[in-house]
Chain A
Amino acid sequence: MAAGPMKMRATLGAGYTEVRVLMSHPMETGQRKDAEGKLVPMHFIQNVVVKVNGKTVLDAQTSQGVSRNPVFSFRLKGGAKGDKIEVSWLDNQGETNSTEAAVA
């Protein structure tokens, strides 16, 4: 399964901005076998970067221990309506994807 689209929501909380992002990704561990009994190769997100108005605020390294179709929540200091949040990921096979949303 190839990686699919992302969904993101950024909302203002009490003094912070909550960012919730969903990434469609198989997150294969390399230990699962397919219907023919062959091992499915490892395929998982390794890096996640969160940017606010173009500035990196969070930088994560992840493993195959994250669930399939990962959902992350992050909290950013302060924030204002309309701030541009960008989240991107890169996996171990070189695939990458990103999404943008304005704080609501």
Chain B
Amino acid sequence: MNGLRRALLAVFALGVLKPLAALAAWNKEAFDARSAADALKSLGAANATPSKDLHIEAPQIAENGAVVPVEIASAIPGTTAIIVLVDKNPFPLVGRFDFKEGALPFVKVNVKMGETSDVRVLAEAGGKHYVATKEIKVTIGGCGG
């Protein structure tokens, strides 16, 4: 009975774990960080250089903090990753996008914002990090922020 159970478990584990292993590990430490600075430290991106070649397209005022569209494009040569954070969210790190050969360093994503905050975007290129920020005001209940 036990042997059968073990065999079934092994089959299950193979089927489930294999596709997971193919994915990049989810950086739990960075995603669990409570401040943007801690998240960036976990990502090894604490010392980023401000850059004008990292473009953030987003509304200045968001009426609904639950869905804030943010479009990011990097004109920094050799950009291999874009990292998105909302500074004042309880867990600031929103995501990390790794671009392989064949993808352009561009992403558009809807983010949640608990309150007015800087949206902080980083690009990784040639082992260096570049940063740009944009403040987005969140109005709650339509009464102004």
> Using a CB–CB distance below 8 Å, which chain A residues touch chain B?
16, 27, 29, 31, 46-47, 49-50, 52, 55-68, 70-77, 90, 94, 96
Contacts and interface: CB of A to CB of B under 8 A. Distances in A.
Interface residues of B, number: 36
A75 B92 CA distance: 25
Interface string B78-116: 000000001001111111111111111011111110000
Contact of A67 (B92, B96, B101, B111): B111
Nearest to A53: B102
Given A58-B98, A61-B24, A94-B16, A71 B110 contact: yes
A72 B23 contact: no
B11 interface: no
Given A66-B112, A67-B110, A71-B109, 11 more contacts: A16-B104, A29-B90, A29-B112, A59-B100, A64-B112, A65-B89, A65-B91, A65-B92, A65-B95, A73-B107, A96-B19
A16 to B, nearest CB: 6
A90 B90 contact: no
A77 B101 CA distance: 9
Q: Which 8 A-B pairs have the closest CB atoms?
A: A73-B108, A57-B102, A67-B110, A65-B94, A75-B104, A62-B95, A57-B103, A75-B106
23 contacts: A16-B104, A31-B90, A55-B102, A57-B99, A57-B100, A57-B102, A59-B100, A60-B107, A61-B24, A63-B31, A63-B94, A63-B95, A66-B95, A66-B110, A67-B66, A67-B112, A68-B67, A75-B103, A76-B102, A76-B104, A90-B20, A90-B23, A94-B16
Interface of B: 16, 19-20, 23-24, 26-27, 31, 66-68, 71, 86, 89-104, 106-112
Given A58-B98, A73-B108, A64 B91 contact: yes
A1 B16 CA distance: 22
Given A65-B86, A66-B112, A60 B96 contact: yes
B110 A58 contact: no
